[in-house]
Structure 1
Amino acid sequence: MTEKPQLGDLVRKQAAPLSEAAFALLVQGVLDYGIFMLDPQGYVISWNAGAERIKGYAADEIVGRHFSTFYPTEDKSAGKPQWELETAVAEGRLEDEGWRIRKDGSRFWANVVITALWDEKGVLRGFGKVTRDMSERRAALQALSERRRLFDHLVQAQETERRRIAWDVHDDSIQAMVAVGMRLQLLEEWVPEECAAELARLDASVREAISRLRELTFRLHPPGIDRHGLVDALSSHLDDVVSTWGLACSFEHRLDREPTPETAITIFRIVQEALLNVRKHAHGSAVTLQVESVDRGILTRVVDDGIGQPMSSNPANEHFGIIEMRERTETAGGWWSMHSEPGTGTTVEFWVPSPESAAAPTDELP
């Protein structure tokens, strides 16, 4: 007596060919990836629409040809195609990025995965190959690398000019003012008594000017910013400068690693300007500085408890300090914002990317 087939068996028998057809339709219809098969010797035996779009060959033009057709002459001379098949056999799969050749002879940067395909008896039946055109991504990374290089040069040039101005002010202007002060002190013994008060006011003005010039040289080039890390530089600035303004300071930091010198200088300069704005405009009693690693960059907040200020919707009305902070941040590839309302204090918040200290050479970018 023949056993009656179960409903589940009938469904599975009907689903199998439908699933295979659907899978073939999926592979053939994918346009963003070149998906094709090679025989055990590396000759193309299948070809999808994505492979045609990326490499330029129609199926009838490439099926039966060796996949080394896609490799530059130098790679073929070095035996790279054969080496990739041997590696895929030995390790099960191989992933590679490098130049490939289209039908028209042009090059494109490809991400390639080759997978060895074995049957149930352990016999090598061929290879599955998936190719993706990464040319646009590589060009974007190269552009980003070039922008970063230019940004680093800009920061270095700015700091060199600041250092030069600081030295000029210290060695020329301050020394000249000190000499004027010394002469005023000498004059005290020679001027009539009725002129002494005016002379004392002049001397006080000169001393105040010297103090301001020294403060200017410190802001232009704080000692140690080139030799110490970001956290130490910010901590020293809070202790040595901001605390003398009568502000209670707190500093919270959670950095995964030390940023590049150019990134550290950029963050320091923005924080320096934000704190100076607190001194000039906030009329508060405390300020909090927070620095932490976020999203492959560094997020920084400067929060005061001052009177706050109404925010202008017109960038033309922003004062120079705000413009400088925003431009520095955006030049570094980051974002900047300020939140403030009367009576609630002000928060300056900004994020800048933090690349690795040693960028990968352009030729090695994926």
Structure 2
Amino acid sequence: MLENTPQSPRINQEQRFRLLIDAVVDYAIYMTDPSGIITSWNSGARRFKGYEEAEILGEHFSRFYTDQDRAAGLPQRALETAVREGRFEGEGWRVRKDGTLFWSHVVIDPIIDSQSGELLGFAKITRDLTDRKMAEETLKQSEQQFRLLVQSVTDYAIYMLGPDGQVTNWNQGAQRIKGYLPAEAIGQHFSMFYTPEDRAAGEPQRALSIAASEGRFEKKGWRVRKDGTRFLAHVVIDAIRSDTGTLLGFAKITRDITDATQAQQALEQAREALFQSQKLQAIGQLTGGIAHDFNNLLTVILGNLEIVRKRMPDDPKLAQLLDNATQGALRGVSLTQRMLAFARRQKLSAESVELPVLVQGISGLLQSSMGPSIHIQTRFTEALSPVLADVNQLELAILNLATNARDAMPHGGSILIAADERLATEAGAQASLKPGRYVCLSITDEGEGMDEATLASAVEPFFTTKGVGKGTGLGLSMVHGLAEQLGGRLILESQKGVGTSAQLWLPLADSAASEKAVVEAQAAPTPPELLVLVVDDDSLVLTSTRLLIEDLGHRVLCAHSGSQALELHERNPDIDLVITDMAMPQMDGAQLAKLLRDRQPDLPIILATGYAERLEGFASQLPRLTKPFKQIDLVQVIGQAMN
């Protein structure tokens, strides 16, 4: 008993050490002899290698290596390294009992006898790192996929910056948009993409400062490509920080939005142009309708004034009152003419017009109208082609434009009236014109000019910047309507504080138009007595017209509608002449005329109208009586119809 007592503590210590090693389940801890034969095996080795102790003791540790590694001699080299360097450490694939692989971290330490220096064997510790390895592989694969994704993006410039703004990587989109190769951009400061004025203003530094403090910077601005051209960019800069909050750099995404912005602007301009066109069309329809009704009223007023003048006693005071009333009505006629000009429903007598001759002919009137403080200059190109226009309306348009130019220069100045031939294309300010050659008649002043808001509303009827009582607001709208009706266009160019140029684009007169002259209806002898059927849905106009015709010595039948007119014609086959209003409900004048001509092909018919409707077929050949009319107008048109 006494001989075994000193050894008992040593045996207990070995048992405790073995219990400790065997309790470790996350590491395979075992020993081999100098040749690599396994001499011990713990529970951790049993857990993730799959071998029971009885199965593995006495086996060579190389059986845990893959076939490829054994063929390459890796097990032996690991032992040699451990002997030579005192330790071997490495990672690699190992094989479990069931043949599956796991990624292991291996440490092999040689066991040396401290007294003799003899190699007793090796202590081997293996850890299963398969989960970590798979996570790393997944991360690596994800990074590769992300790198490929970023590199394949060509519509966005995606790259990173260091904390100081140096470019650290470069994708294909950046190369395409900015024009720099990776070798040319990486290592350079990203401010090289900014315009000189933005760099001088400190924009690059401000962008990084905002991104660093707020986590994100976003803005649109102009950037510069390698070739020096500029593009409009949408830029996003995000700060990149570590888990501890340290600023690692910035992620920068740039998109070229030049084309998209221009397309959006073009779309907005097109929408605005469509809106303006629809607005002017609606205003034109409203204006034309008002002018038509107003002409009916003026027809009544002027007709009754003529009848009263003929039948009143010879009293100078009464005559003066009638003259004033007539002048007031004639001012209303002028106003309706302007309204119809804007609505493009005035009656035009288009003919070939030589602009230099026309301007020269009204130069005296222009200068006297402008006053001594205005100097008028003219400049016309040689051999200027004639234009197709209504002489009287064109003279009025020039006078209106010159008057506007004068009013824009209250302290005096120069007005330039110029004309030259130009080509209208489908692009630019002439887009609404039919492509071809035109004469551009321009009237340019040195006045106050207009801002964008004023310029956009300048041609709208009744819009004026002049004081109360100083303008009707119909001058430019009349010129606009005249140009549109002739097949041209009024284009205004103005700059605040510089002046305004009103350009009247007029179509060239072709050979047929050049030979055309204004044909005035000649008053033929009026037959002694006619039976005239007058048709109008306005009772006041109907009465006034009847009185004027009866005053000429004719008999009159009146109808308030087309259907009533047909009944009267059927009961009175001796009707000599029909005068019908054009605009009537249910059956208009053209429809009535067609039915009457079907009954009586040689029946004279006159169409009365408050504006110039576009008529087709035989109705376009009928004599026209334009409202408001006077008795002399009736005499002329009746004579024309009856002959």
Deviation at 1:136, TM superposition (A): 1.5
Aligned-partner Cα distance in 2 for 1:31–1:186:
83
Query: Structure 2 CA distance, aligned partners of 1:67 and 1:82?
Result: 10
> SS at the partner of 1:199?
strand
5 Å-filtered alignment, 1:1-16, equals: 1-2=27-28, 3=44, 4=48, 5=128, 8-16=131-139
Tell me which amino acid in the other structure corresponds to 1:51.
A
Q: Does 1:162 align with 2:285?
A: yes
Q: Given the alignment of the two structures, is residue 39 of structure 1 paired with residue 169 of structure 2, yes or no?
A: no
Structure 1 unaligned residues grouped into runs of 5+: 217-366
Specify the alignment match of 1:340 in structure 2: none
Q: Of residues 37, 41, 56 in structure 1, which corresponds to 2:179?
A: 56
Asked whether 1:30 is paired with 2:191, we answer no
Q: Does 1:126 align with 2:249?
A: yes
Q: How does 1:1-366 map to 2 (within 5 A)?
A: 1-2=27-28, 3=44, 4=48, 5=128, 8-173=131-296, 176=299, 177=536, 178-183=539-544, 199=557, 202-205=559-562, 213=584
- Amino acid paired to 2:286: R
1:180/1:52 Cα in 2 relative to 1: closer, same or farther (>3 Å)? Answer: closer
Contact 1:115/1:129, CA 8 A, preserved across alignment:
yes
Q: CA deviation at 1:39?
A: 0.9
Instruction: Name 1:273's counterpart in structure 2.
Output: none
Residues 88, 94 of structure 1: 8 Å contact kept: yes
CA RMSD of aligned residues (A): 3.3
- Alpha-carbon shift at residue 158 of structure 1 (Å): 1.1
AA matched with 1:119: S
Rounded to whole Å, the distance in 2 between the matches of 1:104 and 1:151 is 38
Farther-moved stretch of structure 1 (2-11 vs 41-50): 2-11
Q: Which amino acid aligns with 2:557?
A: L
The CA distance in 2 between the partners of 1:82 and 1:6, in whole Å, is: 45
Deviation at 1:211, TM superposition (A): 11
User: Which structure shows the bigger proportion of residues in helix conformation?
Assistant: 1
User: Which residue identity does 2:153 align to in structure 1?
Assistant: V
Alpha-carbon distance in 2 for matches of 1:43, 1:6? 38
Contact 1:44 1:65 in 2 (8 A): yes
Distance, in Å, in 2 between the alignment partners of 1:180 and 1:206 is 18
Give the TM-score taking structure 1 as reference length: 0.50
- Please say if residues 42 and 66 of structure 1, whose CA atoms lie closer than 8 Å, have aligned partners that are also in contact: yes
Q: Which runs of 5+ in 2 are unaligned?
A: 1-26, 29-43, 49-127, 300-535, 566-579, 588-643
Q: Deviations over 1:15-58 (max 9, x none)?
A: 22222222222222221211111111111111111110110000
Deviation per residue, 1:112-137 (Å, 9 max, x gap)? 11001111221111111011111121
- Sort the Cα spacing of 1:112 and 1:173 in 2 relative to 1 into closer, same or farther, 3 A: same
AA paired with 1:181? L
Q: Is the 8 A contact 1:113 1:129 kept in 2?
A: yes
Q: Is the 8 A contact 2:158 2:254 kept in 1?
A: yes
Instruction: Give how far 1:164 is off.
Output: 2.6
Greater Rg, structure 1 or structure 2?
2
Q: Distance in 1 between matches of 2:148 and 2:183?
A: 18
> 1:156, CA displacement in angstroms?
2.6
Query: Which one-letter code corresponds to 1:199 in the other structure?
Result: L
Q: 1:91 to 1:215 in 2, by over 3 A?
A: farther
Structure 1 residue matching 2:174: 3-state secondary structure: helix
Take 1:73 and 1:119, find their aligned partners in 2: how far apart are those partners?
33
Which residue identity is paired with 1:151?
L
**Cα offset, 1:82, TM superposition:** 0.8
Q: Distance in 1 between matches of 2:165 and 2:204?
A: 9
Count of residue correspondences: 208
Distance 1:143 1:19, change over 3 A: same
**2:487 match:** none
Change (3 A) 1:164 1:52: same
Q: Report the 3-state secondary structure (helix = DSSP H, G, I; strand = E; otherwise coil) of the residue aligned with 2:557.
A: helix
Structure-2 residue corresponding to 1:318 = none
1:146/1:42 CA distance change after superposition, 3 Å: same
Aligned equivalents of 1:120, 1:203: Cα separation in 2: 92
Residues 296, 541 of structure 2: 8 Å contact kept: no
Percent same amino acid among aligned pairs?
A: 37
Deviation digits for residues 254-307 of structure 1 (CA, Å, limit 9, x no counterpart) = xxxxxxxxxxxxxxxxxxxxxxxxxxxxxxxxxxxxxxxxxxxxxxxxxxxxxx
**SS of match in other structure, 2:159:** strand
**Distance in 2 between the 1:10 and 1:199 partners?**
110
Bigger relative contact order, structure 1 or 2 (CA pairs below 8 A, ≥6 apart): 1
1:347 alignment partner in structure 2: none
Task: Give the Cα–Cα distance (whole angstroms) in 1 for the partners of residues 564 and 207 of structure 2.
Answer: 76
Shift of residue 215, structure 1, vs aligned partner: 9.8
Q: Secondary structure at the match of 1:15?
A: helix
Q: 1:14 to 1:116 in 2, by over 3 A?
A: same
Q: Write the letter of the residue equivalent to 2:185.
A: I
Which whole-Å CA distance do the structure 2 matches of 1:126 and 1:74 have between them? 25
Distance 1:156 1:143 in 2: 19
- Partners of 2:546 and 2:256 in 1: how far apart? 78
Say which SS state the counterpart of residue 165 (structure 2) adopts: coil
Is the deviation greater in 10-19 or in 90-99?
A: 10-19
- Is this contact kept in 1: 2:561–2:584, CA < 8 A? no
Contact map agreement 1:170 1:214 (CA 8 A) in 2:
no
Q: 1:29 and 1:204, CA in 2 relative to 1: closer, same or farther beyond 3 A?
A: closer
